Amino acid sequence: MDSRKSNRRGFLKGGAALAGLAAGAAQSAKAQTPEPKWHEKGTNKEIIAYGERSRFVTSLRAPVAERDSPDAFGLMFHVLTPLQDSVGSITPSSLHYVATHRGSFVPEIDPKEHRLMIHGMVDRPLVFTMDELKRFPYVTRVHFLECIGNRSKPTHKTVQETHGMTSCSEWTGVPLSVLLKEAGVQSGASWIVAEGAEEIKGASSIPLGKAMDDCLVCYGQNGEAVRPQQGFPLRLIVPGFEGIFQTKYLRRIKVVDRYYMTYNDYGHINPDPKVSALGNQIGPKSVITYPSGGQKLSGPGFYEISGLAWSGGGAIRKVEISTDGGKSWKDAELRTPPYPMAHTRFGFHWNWDGKECDLQSRCTDELGTVQPTRAQSAQFFNKPLDENYRVPGADNTIQSWRIAGDGSVHNGLA
């Protein structure tokens, strides 16, 4: 028999059962649903001016498990996106993860006073105001950002803790290549150094080829101005590269002929070329967000497994799901367009039999690179795989969620 017909019949049978349950639930809910409460007209000007979410929606960012934020010195450390509550592929600006700021506070910058300078090995050193930048042709693209510290540990309980230092936004701005061409890059130039306006000057060295390819000088995020925590009024987006390259509060770009060691590079330089490669470009990565750690299934039956996949190497081409700890794999469905260097939502129909099992996802990007297991990573780097193993570079290994017999979900590394 055609497996597709068999799967379809199974799904329709399951769907019929679900429809029956839904009908019963609807009748019960109709009898118990209270009348909605309404805001009084003419009150609460803030709601009219900017809007708010429902008080029944409680998704919140949280500090990393290993360190409070703000810390004892009042400084903000890494703040994590609540991936367990996410839908679609775009992260709301207010829930976007935040990495460490290089200074005491988020800078308060008047966009009318802000300037971007491009100088160094160029024919025409230029200084742009924000108004001048916005007169250039702009583009809008969807890209993820991810901190290299985004890695799963056995002590992490939820997907917010294991993977919460990645977010995805729709970014609007001027291609960096347009500005560099306006300045006229000189022969012999091979790198740029991008600097932000934080108290401790965050700066990153980026290959000129990458700068001329797909980097964006952004002033817009998700249809509005870039948020202050994300670099208002101007930030650099370096698609697919780790978060340290995505310079916030961008104010200066210097075109140079060599790699410059900067403050941002401290702790990010490694003599092993394999590690260095994984430190620049994020490898193909995916994670199941439902069901995930800290959640609980109500009992045996039909569930929709859902998650996110992304890669610094381009668009996601395939996501696979395993419900037996990696022994066998089946294709998931891509539920959002697979844009290059962007989060892609995937889904998978699953009937849970009520027995303990391990759920995993793995993805393949357009380069054909497949997300590895921790064992494959250890073998690649010729290191022992034990409880102390720390994935070198960016951790893009497969995450396992263990479903217990009572439906509770736990980190498979624990």
Q: Specify the CATH number for the domain of residue 142.
A: 3.90.420.10
Q: Which one, of 183, 186, 177, lies nearest residue 124 by Cα?
A: 183
Cα maximum dimension of the chain = 76
The residues pairing with 253 across neighbouring beta strands, listed in sequence order, are 118, 194
**What does the buried/exposed string (b/e) look like for 220-243 if buried means 16 or more CB atoms within 10 Å of the residue's CB?**
bbbeebbbebbbbbbbbbbbbbbb
Q: Is residue 38 part of a domain?
A: no
**What does the buried/exposed string (b/e) look like for 287-300 if buried means 16 or more CB atoms within 10 Å of the residue's CB?**
bbbbbbbbbebeee
Angle among Cα 165, 114, 226 to the nearest 5 degrees reads 30
- Are the C-beta atoms of 341 and 375 separated by less than 8 Å? no
Helix (H, G, I), strand (E, B) or coil at 375: helix
Looking at the structure, do residues 95 and 237 belong to the same domain, yes or no?
Answer: yes
Looking at the structure, do residues 387 and 255 belong to the same domain, yes or no?
Answer: no
CA–CA dist 186, 31 (Å, integer): 74
Q: Is residue 66 part of a domain?
A: no
What amino acid occupies position 206? I
What are the structure tokens assigned to 17, written together?
């059962």
DSSP 154-203: TT--SHHHHH-SEEEEEEEEEEHHHHHHHH-BPTT--EEEEEE-SSS--E
Full residue range of the structural domain in which residue 83 is found: 79-269
Q: Which one, of 151, 160, 145, lies nearest residue 62 by Cα?
A: 160
Pairing of strands 250-256, 115-120: parallel
Among positive and negative, which fits the CA dihedral 409, 278, 65, 379?
Answer: positive
Pick the last residue of a domain from 219, 235, 269. Answer: 269
Pick the last residue of a domain from 269, 298, 333. Answer: 269
Alpha-carbon Rg of the chain, whole angstroms? 24
Looking at the structure, do residues 243 and 291 belong to the same domain, yes or no?
Answer: no
Q: Is residue 194 part of a domain?
A: yes
Q: Which one, of 65, 67, 103, 78, lies nearest residue 293 by Cα?
A: 65
Looking at the structure, do residues 256 and 370 belong to the same domain, yes or no?
Answer: no
Helix (H, G, I), strand (E, B) or coil at 80: strand
Q: What is the CATH number of the domain that holds 369?
A: 2.60.40.650
Backbone φ and ψ of 27, nearest 5°: -65, -40
Please tell me the predicted confidence (pLDDT) of residue 1.
45
Looking at the structure, do residues 205 and 102 belong to the same domain, yes or no?
Answer: yes
Angle among Cα 407, 408, 412 to the nearest 5 degrees reads 115
Q: Is residue 149 part of a domain?
A: yes
Number of domains in the chain: 2
Going from the C-alpha of 369 to that of each of 18, 256, 284, 325, 374, the distances in angstroms are 38, 32, 7, 21, 15
Neighbours of 156 (CB within 10 A): 22
- Are the C-beta atoms of 240 and 284 separated by less than 8 Å? no
Q: Is residue 379 part of a domain?
A: yes
- Tell me which residue has tokens 């708010």: 52
Please tell me the predicted confidence (pLDDT) of residue 193.
94
What amino acid occupies position 269? I
CA–CA dist 192, 257 (Å, integer): 8
Please tell me the predicted confidence (pLDDT) of residue 359.
98
- Tell me which residue has tokens 């890494």: 78
Please tell me the predicted confidence (pLDDT) of residue 34.
66
Looking at the structure, do residues 302 and 379 belong to the same domain, yes or no?
Answer: yes
- Are the C-beta atoms of 229 and 235 separated by less than 8 Å? no
Q: Which residues in the chain land under pLDDT 70? A: 1-43, 67-76, 101-104, 199-202, 263-279
Looking at the structure, do residues 233 and 97 belong to the same domain, yes or no?
Answer: yes
Q: Is residue 274 part of a domain?
A: no
Q: Is residue 22 part of a domain?
A: no
What are the structure tokens assigned to 400, written together?
């396992």
Please tell me the predicted confidence (pLDDT) of residue 77.
72
At 52-90, the pLDDT tens digits run 888 898 898 988 877 666 666 566 678 999 999 999 999
Looking at the structure, do residues 109 and 245 belong to the same domain, yes or no?
Answer: yes
Model-level pTM? 0.87
Q: Is residue 92 part of a domain?
A: yes
Pick the last residue of a domain from 241, 269, 297. Answer: 269
CA–CA dist 291, 360 (Å, integer): 10
Looking at the structure, do residues 371 and 289 belong to the same domain, yes or no?
Answer: yes
Looking at the structure, do residues 110 and 213 belong to the same domain, yes or no?
Answer: yes
Please tell me the predicted confidence (pLDDT) of residue 369.
95
- Are the C-beta atoms of 398 and 373 separated by less than 8 Å? yes
Looking at the structure, do residues 155 and 295 belong to the same domain, yes or no?
Answer: no
- Are the C-beta atoms of 255 and 239 separated by less than 8 Å? no
CA–CA dist 50, 66 (Å, integer): 35
- Are the C-beta atoms of 313 and 284 separated by less than 8 Å? yes
Looking at the structure, do residues 296 and 252 belong to the same domain, yes or no?
Answer: no
